[in-house]
A and B are shown apart, each in its own frame.
Chain A
Amino acid sequence: MLRKKQTGHMLTSRKAPEPLMLVFLFLALLLLLFVVVTLANMVIEQVVTDLPALINAACEKSVIKSISLSMYAGLVATLISLVLGIPAAYILARKNFFAKGFVESVLDIPVVVPHTVAGIALLTIFGANGLLGAPLESYIQFRDAFAGIVIAMLFVSTPFLTNSVREGFQNIDPRLENTARSLGAPMWKAFLFVTLPLAARHILAGSIMCWARAISEFGAVVIIAYYPMIGPTLVYDRYLSYGLSASRPIAVLLILVTLTIFIAVRLISAGWRLYDKD
């Protein structure tokens, strides 16, 4: 059933607007402006003062390579997050067990660890002499390689996905799954055909956050894999070598590319509100 559209607006309703709401509106506006003005200024200044540079940057081989690498590595990291994170989220949503709170906190730790610290920790484990890197040395190289980029992105962005998906599973009444099973469906069918579709919006939102966070990671990636250069590394390298005006076009390109995809996916998922629990 479609929801009834909410009539009346807090400012245009007949009652005088609450003073508290006005204060809140003002503060919210500050926050909004903080984000919008910072990014819009970069983009507009680049377009207005030096548009040819932006267009040249968009055609440069190294720029195209690094932005594509960022997006592809982010995608791989998100896919791995999905494979590992959905089961974890399901267990956390459905089961209660000893030290559950502890486990949930541990899964959130990567968010608070400083990025460079995470990078060094990962390099220690996955480097040529590391705990995991040494036995894998003949098969995968992590230092200065694609695998290292993905690992670093995975470490910092998985929590976003697990948290969103867990919330999605929590919103689904277990009785729906039980109904499916009582009708003869094995557990995996109930999960695949009942639970997952109902949680689709949360899974998608979590994946977008995960992917966006992965693409923007710099500190952890640059420690374990300076080459091949991802987008943020290229911006940094250019900034150090040539200065602000040489690095800004790439920065603007990165903003535009990621924003576009971000908006596109959110628009697609907007229509999925139908499946939300009332």
Chain B
Amino acid sequence: MTIKNKIFTILTIFVLFGAVFSATGCINNETTTNDDVNINGQDAVQTIGPEGELVLKIFHAGSLSVPMAELEEKFETLHPNVDVQREPAGSSASIKKITELNKQADILASADYTLIPTMMIPEYTDWYLAFAKNQIVIAYTDDSKYSSEVNSDNWYEILRRPDVTFGFSNPNDDPCGYRSVMVTQLSEAYYNDESIFDDLMEDNTAIAMTFDNGTYTAVMPASEYIEPNTKKIMMRSMEVELSSALETGEIDYFYIYRSVAVQHGFKFVELPPQIDLSSVENADKYNTVRVRTANGNIVVGTPIVYGITIPDNAMQPELGVEFIKLLLSTDGQNVFIDNGQPPIVPAVTNDAEKVHAELRALL
């Protein structure tokens, strides 16, 4: 082949590659993304899906992923013309998408029901339903050290042992993280042992605990200054990384929601209701502990109760009502029971007048 022909062949190959790559760029992206064009300050959400279906958009907490996925399947079977699109994220982040980024969702489900009145009522919604509970447990596997000994009376003793490693998520980013801190502090009063928090958390991170007038406040430094003692503890922004660390044996124990432990098939230590943020009866005990996150926000210890609402700016509020009906029904309750998240039956609301009429009947 002459040089001219060689050059010609090479150029043709380049042009073909270029054409192929640009063609892939032109393929219609079916799924809606969060970068939809801003119209009138609100994102133009595609409410008609790629096959002419209606779109139901749900923002929800990460720990609701599995039950929400199951509800999505059931809902789409009942309503074949609807495409349910879920976006899991931290609960505060999910709410901020609506209140600060002007994104639209038909349903907002939060791992902390109190975030709805503090962050959304009254400008973005008027009501919420408390629909499920959860509790913090200490998850472990058969390969964890001292797994045959650990129980609800000695878990903190075992975590203290020098050859045991444990994990919890970053309180600045994840409600599960600040709840882990609260549980540890509450355990001091219950087990009558004043150094549990110091030994487990204060000595291994830069988190400081202050006591003032009957209230404990854990002060969180900015994430880059937390300085976890990585020989003893493992800290990550999202609990999911800790799950895989437990699976591979990187850590022996970690603080997590009971539902997630059940979903992953971990063994877990159930903690006394006085400390595990599970029961409304112990709410006044939980209130004695709070956490001040790095951005100055103060979170008070409350029972872990999931809240759900239909934001005012929902595009398909009627579909949202249908979905919540499914969630509250026996079918929906069973989904939560099977996933280790006991449902609150009947659901509790802040203001029955403000709730949609069809849902009021189910309360």
Contacts and interface: CB of A to CB of B under 8 A. Distances in A.
Interface of A: 61-62, 66, 123-124, 127-129, 141, 143-145, 226-229, 234, 237-238, 240-241
Contacts of A234: 224
A237 B223 contact: yes
Which 4 A-B pairs give the minimum distances between C-beta atoms? A144-B230, A129-B249, A62-B224, A128-B250
B241 to A, nearest CB: 8
B234 interface: yes
Contact of A128 (B173, B228, B249): B249
B143 to A, nearest CB: 8
Contact of B228 (A61, A129, A227): A227
Contacts of A226: 236
24 contacts: A61-B225, A62-B224, A62-B225, A123-B248, A127-B249, A128-B248, A128-B249, A128-B250, A141-B230, A143-B245, A143-B250, A145-B230, A145-B231, A226-B236, A227-B227, A227-B235, A234-B224, A237-B223, A240-B237, A241-B172, A241-B173, A241-B222, A241-B223, A241-B294
Contacts of B172: 241
Nearest to B7: A20
Given A141-B230, A141-B231, A227-B235, A237 B224 contact: yes
A128 B172 CA distance: 27
Contacts of B234: 143-144
Nearest to A228: B230
Please indicate which of the listed interface residues B224, B225, B228, B230 has the most CB atoms of chain A within 10 Å of its own CB.
B224
A234 B223 CA distance: 10
Contacts of A144: 228, 230, 234
Contact of A227 (B222, B230, B248, B294): B230
A127 B231 CA distance: 12
Contacts of A62: 224-225
Contacts of A129: 143, 248-250
Secondary structure type dominating chain B contacts: loop
Contacts of B173: 241
A127 B236 contact: no
A34 B70 CA distance: 47
Contacts of B165: 128
Contacts of B228: 144, 227
Contacts of B248: 123-124, 127-129
Interface extent on B, as a size class?
20 to 34
Contacts of B223: 237, 241
Interface string B91-109: 0000000000000000000
Contacts of B237: 240
Nearest to A229: B224
A228 B165 CA distance: 17
Nearest to A223: B241
A226 B245 CA distance: 13
Interface string B164-194: 0100000011000000000000000000000
A219 to B, nearest CB: 14
A229 B231 CA distance: 15
Given A227-B235, A229-B224, A237-B223, A127 B250 contact: yes
A229 B230 CA distance: 12
A123 B237 CA distance: 18
Contacts of B222: 241
Interface string B142-177: 010000000000000000000001000000110000
A238 B224 contact: yes
A66 B227 CA distance: 12
Nearest to B173: A241
Given A129-B249, A241-B172, 15 more contacts: A62-B225, A128-B165, A128-B249, A141-B230, A143-B230, A144-B228, A144-B234, A145-B230, A145-B231, A227-B228, A227-B235, A228-B230, A234-B224, A237-B223, A241-B173
Contacts of B231: 141, 145
A49 B227 CA distance: 32
A13 to B, nearest CB: 23
A143 B249 CA distance: 11
A118 to B, nearest CB: 17
A143 to B, nearest CB: 6
A227 B236 CA distance: 9
A175 B173 CA distance: 64
Nearest to A65: B224
A241 B224 CA distance: 10
A273 to B, nearest CB: 32
A223 to B, nearest CB: 9
Contacts of B143: 129
Interface string B192-228: 0000000000000000000000000000001111011
Contacts of A241: 172-173, 222-223, 294
A238 B222 CA distance: 10
